Amino acid sequence: MAGTLAAPAQSAGLPPGSAHNIVLVHGAFVDQTSWQPVADILTKKGYTVTLVENPLTSLAADVEATRQALAKQDGKTVLVGHSWGGVVITEAGNDPKVSALVYVSAFAPDRGESLKSLADAGPATEGGKAIHPDAKGNLTIDPKVFPAAVAADLPPKIAESLANSQLPLSYAAFAAPVDTVAWRDKPTFFVISTKDKLLAPEAQKMFAARMKAQTTEVAGSHASLVVHAGEVAAVIEKAALAK
């Protein structure tokens, strides 16, 4: 499922040749509203913005939700993933409409790698150590650790609310390897969060380097897509101009 925020009447004001469509893919433990601050900025500038609603039940299910969103786009599209969403866009981003990929504090697997294998490879983080399975094997972050490890730069009440309303990620998704690697064939951008305590900045830098991504650093937590929405939106706009 996906929600669309569209401003087609303003699209004529966008730079010539740029992608007018932006598809935003959220990470584990949160829903698509995590992208709302970025979506609001881009929509006001005239981009057609779609927020993908990941089921988080399997990699295949999330990839399918993303592909359904891409199928509705008219023309060139920038595909953006946060956190777990980076795994999803790596698999789904080979769609011919996708003109560029943007990873925001995101995992970026190569062929045969999974979120689990990347997490196991480290470096270990405070947030990563706090991820635990429930009786059904679904994964969440210890709510007591979540605010400091994931969203330290959000207001405490908001961070606590996110911690207590987490959407679990299935273990099947966590362990599923990718077999398509879209970043090998697309212009790629990466926003590194230098104060991230869930996905180590060192790991983010490694992903960006092996993708040869254009890299931007923000002094934010794993929730930098909210706190640094303006900077993230600016990178997405650069990606919209990629050839």
pLDDT computed for residue 199 by the predictor? 95
pLDDT computed for residue 5 by the predictor? 46
Measure the CA–CA gap between 33 and 26, rounded to whole angstroms. Answer: 8
Segment 102-132, tens digit of pLDDT: 999 999 999 999 999 998 888 889 999 999 9
Residue type, 48: T
Percent of the chain with pLDDT over 70: 95
Q: Return mean pLDDT, the chain.
A: 92
pLDDT computed for residue 77 by the predictor? 97
Question: In sequence order, which ranges of 77-222 are alpha helices (DSSP H)?
Answer: 85-92, 115-121, 126-129, 146-150, 156-164, 171-175, 201-211
For residue 21 the two structure tokens come to: 């469509």
Question: Which residue has 């929405």 as its token pair?
Answer: 229
Chain centroid, CA 17 distance in Å:
24
Measure the CA–CA gap between 75 and 82, rounded to whole angstroms. Answer: 23
SS3 (DSSP) at 132 = strand
pLDDT computed for residue 3 by the predictor? 55
pLDDT computed for residue 9 by the predictor? 38
Closest CA to 160 of 144, 138, 176, 137: 144
Which one is predicted more confidently, 68 or 31? 68
For residue 28 the two structure tokens come to: 């584990």
Segment 160-207, tens digit of pLDDT: 999 999 999 999 999 999 999 999 999 999 999 999 999 999 999 999
Segment 143-159, tens digit of pLDDT: 999 999 999 999 999 99
Give the right CATH number for 2-9+18-240 from 3.40.50.1820, 3.40.50.300, 2.40.30.20, 3.40.630.40: 3.40.50.1820
Segment 63-87, tens digit of pLDDT: 999 999 999 999 999 999 999 999 9
